[in-house]
Amino acid sequence: MAEENRYFAVMLIDDNEIDNLINQKMIEASGITKYIYTHTGARSAIEFLKNIQDLDELASKVLPDVIFLDIDMPLMDGFQFLDEFEKLNNESREKCRIVMLTSSINPQDVNKSKKYSYVKKYINKPLSHHNLEKLDI
């Protein structure tokens, strides 16, 4: 079992509700966080982050420490999310570290994700206990 609550909160962004559920259960079992925010759309997730950052001093307590982000989603994909994420304030961008969590094995996606400084890791689905244990970001 990982040490208790390495992170205050993590966020899952994936349009596949079954993936979200499986990943949520893996995160809960790992004990790395106290709270899990789940979004099935990148747009709702970015709105959520914008609303939190408007809370000023409360924002740093509520923002997720880690965001697990899928790439291939309708309406707004993972890269479009990252472009919107860049527009958030400094505090938000520094607090939220992003892990690309995707079924994509396209090397272009891996390379493209490396262009974003706050993308700290690229993990293939599904999330595993091993991935979570060695998640050091």
Going along the chain, which residue ranges are E strands? Answer: 7-13, 33-39, 66-69, 97-102, 119-124
User: What per-residue confidence (pLDDT) applies to 60?
Assistant: 85
User: What per-residue confidence (pLDDT) applies to 58?
Assistant: 86
CA distance 45 to 38: 8
Query: Domain residues of the chain, as ranges?
Result: 15-133
Tell me the fold of 15-133: Rossmann fold (3.40.50)
User: pLDDT tens track of the chain, all 137 residues?
Assistant: 445 689 999 999 999 999 999 999 999 999 999 999 999 999 999 999 999 999 888 888 899 999 999 999 999 999 999 999 999 999 999 999 999 999 988 999 999 999 999 999 999 998 998 999 888 88
CA distance 89 to 104: 29
